[in-house]
Structure formats: C-alpha cells, structure tokens
Chain A
Amino acid sequence: MINDSEIKRIKDELESKREIFALNSLAESEWNFVLQKVRRRVLHEKEETLGGKIIDFFSGIFSSYKLSLVLATLILLLSSFMIYKNLTPANTQLQGQSNSKHFRSAPKPNMPGHNVSAVKKHI
C-alpha cells in the first residue's frame, strides 16, 4: 500500500522529468499546411464528381489551387456548353452533310454512297 507521502514523492519524481515532454507550438507554415489539406479534403468531400477529379488533376500540375479551380471550372463550363450545343433541335435532326459522326446514318444498300462493287469484290 502506497501512502500519500509516497505518492507525493512519485509525483515530484515524475514531474521533474516533465520537461522532456515539452512540445513547441506549431509554426505558421505547418499550420497553413494543415489548413490547406483540410480545405482540400472538405472540397473533395463536397465534390466527389467530375469537377473534383479535374481539380485534382490540375492540382497535380499547378502549385496554385485557385488556378486549378479556375481551369476546372472553365473546362466544366465548356463541356456543358458543348453538350448543350449538340442537344439543340437543329443538331439533333439527321442531316445529309452533318459532320457529326454520331448522328450520321450508315448508307444503305442501293442508296447513293453505298459502294456495291467494293462489297462484291470482297465476297
């Protein structure tokens, strides 16, 4: 059984060694690093989408996170615009001279554009 004076002695003995556990404050640069990482993680959690992935990609190339964000936003806006443009009524109708491969119908046999001789040769 340890009595009070014994505990006090242990306390004093242990506490005399406390200084080896002293820690410094975080430096401003270390703190900014942590904050930056937290900000990024929060954004990632919010945008686990294509946008988030694009930001990630640019963050790997550029050191500036803001620049990556701007570029990713521009790309997203541009791709949204392209999609919108392709879905407008004028482009959704099949056109004979359309440049869009997706909307061009394949030439049918006995129709202009269908190379019958080439098919025969192949057979």
Chain B
Amino acid sequence: METTQNNTVVDYSVIEDKDLIKMYQKGDEKAVEELFSRYKDYIYHIAYRFMRNYEDSMDLMQEVLIRMLRGLKNYEERSYLKGWIYRIVSNTSINILKSSSKREVPVEKAFDWIADKRMDVEEKLESTVLKEKIYMAADRLKGKQRDIFVLRYYENLPYNEIANILGTSATSAKSNYFYALKKMKKYLEEYGVEL
C-alpha cells in the first residue's frame, strides 16, 4: 500500500500490468517499481543465462531496467510484455557481450563451491564441468532455437508460454526445441559429452 500525493491509498499489488504502465506514463514512479518487482526474477534468470555469472547478470539487469524505463514511456500494449522484456534482455546482453569479453566465467567464480566442505567435491566438479559444456553448446545455437532452448530448457516454461514470449506458435516452438536438441547433441559430443 502506498499513499499518493493527494493522500489516496493505492494498493499497487492488485493493479494489472497494463494499468501500471499507464500510471507510469502519467508520471507515477511507484507503479513502474511494482511492475519491475513482478518481473525481477524473470529478468534475472534470463540475464543469468546469457551472462553466466552473478555480477554480470546484476549489471545486465540494471541496464535492462533502464531500457525498460525508456521504452515504457512509449509502450503500447501490442506485444506480450514478457516477450518485450525478453527481447530487451537478449539484445542488451548481445551488445554487452559483443563489446567485451565478459562471456568467460572467471575460474575462481566457477569453482567457488570448492571452499564449501559439505559438498562432494568430485561430484560437484563433474556437474560444474558438464554445466559449462552445456552452456557453451547452447551459446552456439542461433536465433529462435537459442531463445527456445533458453526458455524451455533452463527456465522450463511450457510451449504455449514460450510461443507468447517469442511471438510464434506452440507447434513451431516445439519443433524448434527438437532441432535445438539435435544440435546440442552434436555440439556436446564435440566437447566430449555423450548423450
């Protein structure tokens, strides 16, 4: 609950996304913060899939929120909001990665679990290496296949949700996912992973 300038109490949590956007366009900053907090995990998770480490994901997240603030000023409810956000995260990450060599995860970050004595080191090492190999293989996927792999494999979203996000059909999303898996098998074999 928030009190506005004219002392009216507004419960932002019950307001729909599209109305929050309209309120922000009229100058209500609290409305956009509510909208952000609804999608914070979605943005963070997608950002992490592209950047693959916490610090860079947090930086990317800031950049995405800034771009959203600019974009929401003129946002018209034509596209699915999650799809619009996904495109911002994806495009921003591509720009960042192109302009730097941030893709490489620092060794100390990838293996920071070693300090945790409760972990079975051998098992953890195996899964960390496999994880990196899957990330590397997925990075080689292009366009829609990459997007679908990110949303389906990492985020475990249903095909109809993916279709809405990417502006395609559920059938197309499903067949693209299968093509992506086929390529993943090939790429992973090159990295010594047998499926």
Contacts and interface: CB of A to CB of B under 8 A. Distances in A.
A25 B41 contact: yes
B181 A20 contact: no
Contact of B178 (A7, A30, A41): A7
A17 B58 contact: no
A26 B44 contact: yes
Given A2-B182, A21-B131, A30 B66 contact: no
- Chain B residues touching A, majority SS: helix
A42 B182 contact: no
Contacts, number: 62
Interface size class for chain A?
20 to 34
Contacts of A76: none
A14 B182 contact: no
- What does DSSP make chain A's interface, helix, strand, loop or mixed? helix
Interface in B42-63: 44-45, 48, 58, 61-62
Contact of B66 (A21, A23, A33, A42): A42
Interface of B: 33, 36-37, 40-41, 44-45, 48, 58, 61-62, 65-66, 69, 127, 130-131, 134, 153-154, 156, 178, 181-182, 184-185, 195
5 contacts: A13-B195, A26-B40, A34-B58, A42-B66, A42-B69
Q: Which 4 A-B pairs have the closest CB atoms?
A: A38-B65, A13-B195, A25-B41, A20-B127
